Amino acid sequence: MSLPDPIEDLVRSMLKELGEDPGRNGLDRTPSRVASAMRTFTSGYDMDPFEILNDALFEVAYNELVLVRDIDFYSLCEHHMVPFFGRVHVGYIPNGRVVGLSKIPRLVEMFARRLQVQERLTTQIAETLEEVLAPKGVGVVIEAKHLCMMMRGVQKQNSYAITSSLRGEFETDSKTRAEFMGLLRQNRDAFA
């Protein structure tokens, strides 16, 4: 039999502080469930971005935009530990090397499965792709709804945040940037 997760005692204490009985029916297994959920929500700390990408790098003579868009993600805001969620769009211009397309959503998932802020998440994805691929340019755009803005504080239900990290040709070449942004708007419903 394995030892209980140390998070369980913390959840029991929190439930007591909130005025609940952690032993009552319905809450008696909550500490275990929360501990398991938190381990899943923060499993990205146990992953290495370079291991995710390095086994799927390929030398290819292709120098046009590669775009993977509408990558769904869920993360926890580091300020309130409340979820934020949305879509990530990643584009890059290869410089003799590409990465397997499925690795980009895996990279997004790894960084999202940490306590985060949207701005850092955006930058981490771009920096990692830039470092591993050495592409001519990288662009990352994230659209996300934040429950900390919806459930507490300002309590605005329809607002969402957009962040971007544009590097290389995405930053310096207006045509490349316009192509990338245009493809993000093409044939899609508004973020909901």
- Whether 89 sits among the annotated catalytic residues: the reply is no
Question: Can you tell me whether residue 75 is helix, strand or coil?
Answer: strand
Given the residues 8, 116, 143, 146, the one annotated as active site:
146
63 CB-side CA count, 13 A: 5
Give the torsion through C-alpha atoms of 101, 103, 108, 112, to 10 deg: 150
Q: Which two tokens stand for residue 42?
A: 């923060």
Q: Which residue has the tokens 């997760």?
A: 5
Residue of 20, 127, 148, 171 with catalytic role: 148
For residue 78, indicate whether it is catalytic: yes
Is 118 a known active-site residue? yes
Q: Of the residues 77, 116, 124, 179, which is catalytic?
A: 77
Is 80 designated active site? yes
Of 20, 80, 127, 171, which is the active-site residue? 80
Is 171 an active-site residue? Answer: no
Catalytic residue among 8, 109, 118, 169: 118
Q: Compute the distance between CA of residue 28 and CA of residue 26 in angstroms, rounded to an integer.
A: 6
Residues 86 and 154: beta-carbon distance below 8 Å: no
| Residue 138 to residue 180: CA distance in whole angstroms | 10
- Known catalytic residues? 77-80, 118, 146, 148
